[in-house]
Amino acid sequence: MIKDYRIILILAIFFLVISTSFINGNEEDDNNVIIKDNFKHIDTIDLEENSKNVDKEYNGEDNGFISGFTGSFLIIIVSEIGDKTWFIAAIMSMKYSRLLVFSGAIGALAVMTVLSVFVGWLIQVVPTVIVFWISTGLFAVFGVQMLYEGFKMSPTEGADELEEAQAEVQKSELDIETSNLINPSLEQGNASTVSSHKTNSIKNSFSYSTIIFMKAFSLTFLAEWGDRSQIATIALGAVKDAFGVILGGIIGHSICTGIAVIGGRVIAQKISVRTVTIIGGFTFIIFALANIIFEFVIR
């Protein structure tokens, strides 16, 4: 049942991406016709200025927020569920505070998303044609790679990712119990001794929370570095609206991480990583084809 809902959700989001592309294309064509009619009544200087505006609209610079948001959101959803960072959040939430684990993980993913989009924005100095083909090629390559991995997997695949995530958590395991110096039993003494002990307890509690937060942050950041979703986010940031890509990516990460910390282990036993990987592969390929269709057919 969960797999059916996931498939329906992914298809619905993808349909939204395609619909947005068609709507933007039609609106741009109508605007171009209106502008061309107005050119008959303006002088040469105004003609040059409006031509620049037409080119700007034609290149999608004014209408990229929605497509950037939906594209980034979709890519994160199909890439992150069942990924190593997803399992790290699920495993840590079984031992530590879910709120602390979620805060640390989503903090790392948000920073990574902003950095990735910034790198993509810097790539815009490269000619648009080159950026377009590189980004489209990356989507296609990732799609083929995910399909290859998915069809090679067994239906029960996912144990490797889980074991790898567990190893990462254990490897970085800090001796939190020994750092938590709170003594559960207070020795009898004067009021100043009790007050001092309470102050130390508050400090130790804050230190404990900081350690958990930083562990979740650092593990997630390192696991996400160079991941497929990060490279895809860089590619989107190079051709789509930066704010749309950032917002869509952070919301997508928030949903995936929230699912992981709430019931990651149970969900991991119910869903098939193989199915998620295959769906993700098709999604990347369709996204690449949609870019080509929008560039050469709709426009």
3-class state of residue 240 by DSSP: coil
The answer as to whether 136 is a domain residue is yes
The answer as to whether 187 is a domain residue is no
Mean pLDDT over the full length of the chain: 72
Query: What residues contact residue 237 under an 8 Å CB cut-off, 6+ apart?
Result: 116, 117, 118, 119, 120, 121, 123, 245
pLDDT single digits (tens) 176-192: 554 554 444 444 444 44
The answer as to whether 134 is a domain residue is yes
Q: Say if residue 152's pLDDT is above 80.
A: yes
Give the residue ranges of DSSP H helices in 172-272: 176-179, 191-224, 228-239, 242-270
Q: Domain range spanning residue 163? A: 2-179+199-298
Query: What residues contact residue 6 under an 8 Å CB cut-off, 6+ apart?
Result: 81, 271, 276, 279
How many residues appear in the chain? 299
The answer as to whether 191 is a domain residue is no
Q: How confident is the model at residue 271 (pLDDT cuts 50, 70, 90)?
A: low
**Domains: count for the chain:** 1
- What pTM, to 2 d.p., does this model score? 0.61
pLDDT single digits (tens) 61-80: 444 889 889 989 998 988 88
175 burial (CB, 10 Å; 0-12 / 13-18 / 19+) is: exposed
The answer as to whether 188 is a domain residue is no
The answer as to whether 194 is a domain residue is no
